C-alpha cells in the first residue's frame, strides 16, 4: 500500500524533475478530500460487517454493503464537481498561483476517487471474513499496474500521466476487491446491487 501511494511521486522525480513532484503532490493532497466520505463510512460500517459475517447474515451484509457504497459514492460527487468547476481557483487560494498546473491531475485523481468509492467496502468485507489474502492480491495487482503505467505515461504526459496511472491502479485495486467479495462471499459491494433489486 505504501509503494502504491508513493510510486508516482518517486517516478515523477526520477523521470521528470522535483518541481513537478511538488505540483503533483498538491493534486494528491487536494484529491484526498474526495475520499473523506468513504473513509468515514468505512469506519462506521466496519464493526457491523464483522458482526453480520459472524452471524452469517448475508442478506443484511449485502444491504449494508450496497447502501454504504451508495453513500460513499454520492459523497464524492460534489467534491469532484467543485474541483472540476473551481479547481484552479481553489488551488490558487490554498497553495498559490504557481500550483495551478495541478488542476488537471487533481480532476483526474478526484474522478478516480469517485471510482474508488463506487466499489464500496469490499476490502473491509474481505478482511472481516478471513480473506485477507485477497486484499494483498489486489494491492499487488494495483502496484504492478501503477508502476507499469507510470513508466509508460509519465515520459509522454508528465504529471497528467502519473494521475492517469494512479487512477488505473485505484480502479484495478478496487475492482479486484469487488470481484473477490462477489466470487467468494456473493456480496456485491457496489451501489448497483440496490438498482438491481
Question: Per-residue pLDDT for 91 more than 90?
Answer: yes
Q: What is the pLDDT of residues 153-167, one digit of tens each?
A: 999 999 999 999 999
Residue 185 has pLDDT above 70, yes or no: yes
Gap between the Cα atoms of 179 and 177, Å rounded: 5
**Angle at the Cα of 99 from the Cα atoms of 94 and 101, rounded to 5 degrees:** 130
Among 105, 87, 116, which Cα is nearest to 176's?
116
Average pLDDT over residues 102-120: 94
Of 25, 118, 134, 123, nearest to 80 by C-alpha is: 118
Q: What pTM value is reported for the model?
A: 0.90
| Cα–Cα distance measured from residue 96 to residue 108, given in angstroms and rounded to the nearest whole number | 20
pLDDT at 5: 74
Q: How distant is the alpha carbon of residue 1 from its chain centre?
A: 12
The percent of residues in the chain predicted with pLDDT above 70, rounded, is 98
Amino acid at each position: 500500500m505504501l509503494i502504491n501511494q508513493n510510486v508516482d511521486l518517486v517516478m515523477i522525480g526520477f523521470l521528470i524533475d522535483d518541481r513537478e513532484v511538488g505540483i503533483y503532490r498538491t493534486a494528491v493532497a487536494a484529491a484526498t478530500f474526495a475520499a473523506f466520505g468513504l473513509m468515514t463510512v468505512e469506519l462506521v460500517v466496519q464493526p457491523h460487517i464483522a458482526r453480520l459475517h459472524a452471524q452469517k447474515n448475508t442478506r443484511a451484509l449485502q444491504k449494508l454493503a450496497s447502501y454504504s457504497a451508495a453513500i460513499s459514492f454520492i459523497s464524492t460527487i460534489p467534491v469532484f464537481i467543485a474541483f472540476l468547476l473551481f479547481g484552479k481557483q481553489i488551488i490558487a487560494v490554498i497553495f498559490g498561483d504557481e500550483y495551478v498546473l495541478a488542476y488537471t491531475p487533481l480532476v483526474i485523481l478526484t474522478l478516480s476517487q469517485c471510482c474508488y468509492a463506487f466499489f464500496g467496502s469490499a476490502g473491509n468485507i474481505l478482511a472481516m471474513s478471513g480473506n485477507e489474502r485477497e486484499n494483498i492480491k489486489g494491492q499487488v495487482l494495483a502496484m504492478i499496474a501503477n508502476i507499469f503505467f507510470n513508466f509508460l505515461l509519465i515520459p509522454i504526459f508528465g504529471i497528467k500521466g502519473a494521475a492517469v496511472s494512479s487512477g488505473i491502479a485505484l480502479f484495478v485495486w478496487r475492482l479486484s476487491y469487488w470481484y473477490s467479495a462477489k466470487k467468494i462471499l456473493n456480496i456485491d459491494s457496489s451501489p448497483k446491487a440496490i438498482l438491481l433489486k
